[in-house]
Amino acid sequence: MNEVTTPDRTATELEQVASAAVVLALGNVASRAVGLAREVVKSYLFGAGGVVDAYNVAARVPLLLYDLLVAGMVHSALVPVFVAYGEARRADLWRLFSALICLTTLVMALLVIVIECFAPQIAWLFSGGSSPEVLALTADLLRIAGPALLFLSVSDVVSGLLYALRRFAYPALTGAVFNAAIVLVAVLLHAQLGVAAMALGLLAGAALRVVVQAPGLRGTGMRFRPALNHPGLRRVAALYAPIVLGLLVEVLISRPVTYNLASRTGAGGISWMDYATTLWQFPQGMVATAISFAVLPTLAAHAAAARHDRRGRPVPHGAGARSAAERRPHRARDGGHLHPGAPRRHAAFRARQLHPVRHRDDRPGAAPVPDRAAVPRG
């Protein structure tokens, strides 16, 4: 049954969206401000030479894989599917969340191993124009920053769940915490570790994104059950497939080519490009991003309510277009027989129509008895 949206409910939802948008906007502004401070600290401590080029490439690789495999999935797939299951049965939501956490951990751990094993080759792919010394440093830094991919990915799965539960404050903190960790570790350890302190800070910031969101799961009744399979995973994959096709061009072609070309402009080419990119991206999406995250759970809840069947369970993907007549018992197209799933009373009634009962007298000269269905009643 479709929900009836009353003016009071609409006003309440608008207030919730506005409140969430304010929280997320503040978190976004804080994240971008601390991110700008991160670039200032990096330029102050290390300048814009080959050392910074090495760090920028090492940091970009796990971030690109994270953008491709997880970050885009939060908007397009995780929140809508989490909301659909949360509106129906929380137990199914926890099983789906557990399966996603296990699957994400497994896949990202394998990718981290690949990064660790093939760091020199990946460094050359992104900065083939750099000197051998810079390429060697890039590979070393990549091995430090690579495991951040695992923590970033798990963090975003948790963020998707908290967005679906409308607990916006904890995900809003993740960006600022991530950048603050990089700044703090770089300031404290740059004298001992050099630019490796930036890579270590990136890894620490990624881990803190998970830690800072853990309190948001309290009071939700969540029960973690290790699993690698759930019907909702197919729905997530179906929703995310069109998005990932577009991101593949950006991650596998555009970014590697861009960084490789910048590395051939001389030492510091990648650094100057990244500094300029940070400046023009600073004001971009401060408000729009917050509003989109704030309104998404509400829109997903309305979509899920429209797709629920009468017993309150989510309708499988593709079943929403079926009409009510199609869900009722009907005859199959193979010769007029009743659908096997129809109730027995319908089958019995149909059998009487197809094969009317006759009381016959087989004696010679006896008059035929009319069908019982044709006998007028009363």
Nearest to 205 by CA among 247, 149, 129, 289: 149
The model's confidence at residue 110, banded by pLDDT at 50, 70 and 90, is very high
Residues 6 or more apart in contact with residue 104 via CB below 8 angstroms: 70, 153, 154, 157
C-beta atoms surrounding 269 within 10 Å: 20
Any idea where the domains of the chain sit in the sequence?
Answer: 21-306, 329-378
Highest mean pLDDT among 161-175, 244-258, 357-371: 161-175
Residues 6 or more apart in contact with residue 109 via CB below 8 angstroms: 150
The pLDDT, as a whole number, for residue 11 is 59
The model's confidence at residue 218, banded by pLDDT at 50, 70 and 90, is confident
* Ramachandran sector of residue 88 (left: φ over 0; alpha: ψ -120 to 50; beta: rest): alpha
pLDDT digits (tens, 9 = 90+) for 4-39: 455 555 656 666 666 766 777 788 888 888 988 998
> Which one-letter amino acid corresponds to residue 129?
G
pLDDT digits (tens, 9 = 90+) for 242-289: 877 777 777 777 777 888 888 887 777 887 787 777 776 666 655 556
The pLDDT, as a whole number, for residue 227 is 77
- What is the pLDDT averaged over residues 83-112? 87
Beta bridge pairs of residue 331: 338
Calculate the dihedral angle through the C-alpha atoms of 254, 255, 260, 261, rounding to the nearest 10 degrees.
Answer: 60
Residues 6 or more apart in contact with residue 356 via CB below 8 angstroms: 371, 372, 373
Q: For a pLDDT cut of 70, what percent of the chain falls above it?
A: 68
The pLDDT, as a whole number, for residue 106 is 94
C-beta atoms surrounding 227 within 10 Å: 15
pTM score: 0.70
pLDDT digits (tens, 9 = 90+) for 196-206: 999 999 999 99
- The C-alpha angle with vertex 13 and arms to 8 and 19, in degrees rounded to 5, equals 130
The model's confidence at residue 374, banded by pLDDT at 50, 70 and 90, is very low
At which residue do the structure tokens 């394998």 appear? 110
